[in-house]
A and B are shown apart, each in its own frame.
Chain A
Amino acid sequence: MAREDFIAVAADDWYQRRRQDAEGRFFLGVAEQGPRKGAGGSTRQGIYALTAAGKLLAYRNAGQNPDVMREVITDAHRTWKSLPESERKPGTVQIGDHGPVDARFTRMPPENGLIVRVSARLLDRGADGGFKDAACETGRGDEASRDHLWITEAEWKSLVPASPRAGGKVPVPVGLAARIARFHLVDHTRGEPNFWSAEEVRLNQLSLIMEEVGPTRITFRVEGAVLLTTDADFAKAQRGFDARVSGWLEFDRERKAFTRFDLVAVGDHWGRGTYTGPARPGRTPLGLAFELTEGKSPAERVAPQAARDVSGYFAAGPRN
């Protein structure tokens, strides 16, 4: 029904409620018709059904509950059908151009950059010492969560030496290594995560080794380890992640493009975030998987969570 009978759109309320442009004003006008008016600048999150002209048809703050989403869609469709045809007929309502966009609250992937999908999943240790799916009783916490890592053109180009040789090591740009550690080695399985400050990065070793150098392709092996803790004393830290990083990258020398950017970070995580309620007790395994995307669909182009502070995101060096 959502696919056939509605035009579906998803947005981050943090941006939508702040932007001062035509889209922001339109959204506030719709939200004002519902119960969640965002007093004091607070959240207006929820599921809205509305007309193109801006009439609110239904609203619920449902989080990610599919049953509530289904109810909203069904109720809204009934209300929509009850509207006069003059409000529903294709082409009756005219929507002009957007006009100037509030760039402070609009994010676009870096030009010619890489978009890497980052998935997080709670894990358990199996009897064989390997990892397996975690049994999680909190909501749908046993499912993978997602975010995106953005890498600039200058950064990915710097990973490819002019004269590559098998066995050679390539330094990872400090800013990129810090961005990965601080903003992407986080537990976002239960919602908006806390990121790591520069001081909380106790160890961040990332090595890129040219494993195979052929006429058409370079294969890189990635090895590393991170220690991210809220306190310099490992034992006292309220939140932390002690993980090993491994992976494989592939660079197509003819296309001059990365075709693979697979990383895994896995290790013990502990502690809860500001907005992410009960965490599993103790230190338990968390896994993060990185994978290159083509960035073609709107969903793949959604900004990294940490890019709300976009200048901080791209300048995530050790002292920033």
Chain B
Amino acid sequence: MSSRLLCASPAVFLALALHASSTDANAADASARAQFAELHALIKPRVAEQKWEQIPWLTSLWEARQKAAREGKPILLWEMDGHPLGCT
């Protein structure tokens, strides 16, 4: 095997080197993508932090009035400085 390689033309060595380099780059790229995905998932809200989304919050008090009158229900209004469903 080694003797055959020693006899190989410079073009073959170049091709092998490029292949190895490409393989390394692909591995590095896959690793970077995996690290990114891991970090992205770490920062994003977890399922347990999003239980509030199980409530069908409206964002228009007027629309809530209309729905409440139609359905015969009271209104629960969560009012904050900074939107409770956004940045507060």
Contacts and interface: CB of A to CB of B under 8 A. Distances in A.
A120 B44 CA distance: 7
Contact of A51 (B74, B83, B87, B88): B74
Contacts of A44: 79
A20 interface: no
B43 A302 contact: no
A45 B36 contact: no
Majority-rule SS of B interface residues: mixed
Interface in B42-83: 42-46, 49, 53-83
B10 interface: no
Nearest to A144: B45
Interface string A8-27: 11111110100000110011
A95 B43 contact: no
Given A10-B83, A43-B81, A289-B40, A248 B74 contact: no
Interface stretch (A152-160, A188-196, A233-241): A188-196
A77 B69 CA distance: 15
Contacts of A43: 81
B44 A119 contact: yes
Interface residues of B, number: 46
A6 B58 contact: no
Given A144-B49, A188-B87, A131 B39 contact: yes
A121 interface: yes
B87 A7 contact: no
Given A49-B74, A247-B36, A287-B39, A11 B59 contact: yes
Contact of A7 (B42, B49, B71): B71
Contact of A144 (B43, B69, B75, B82): B43
B77 A50 contact: yes
B57 A10 contact: yes
B65 A143 contact: no
A246 B54 contact: no
A80 interface: yes
Contacts, number: 221
Residue of B71, B73, B74 ringed by the most chain A CB atoms within 10 A = B74
Q: For the complex, would chain A's binding face be called helix, strand, loop or mixed by DSSP majority?
A: mixed
Contacts of B76: 2, 6-9, 47-49, 72-73, 76
A109 to B, nearest CB: 12
Interface string A220-257: 00000000000000000000000000111000000000
B56 A8 contact: yes
A311 interface: no
Interface stretch (A85-93, A164-172, A197-205): A85-93
A89 B72 contact: yes
B85 interface: yes
9 contacts: A6-B73, A8-B75, A9-B75, A89-B72, A90-B72, A120-B43, A193-B87, A264-B36, A287-B42
Lowest 4 A-B CB distances belong to which pairs? A90-B72, A305-B87, A289-B43, A9-B64
Given A302-B86, A305-B86, 12 more contacts: A6-B76, A9-B61, A12-B83, A26-B61, A45-B81, A50-B77, A91-B72, A119-B44, A120-B43, A147-B87, A191-B82, A266-B39
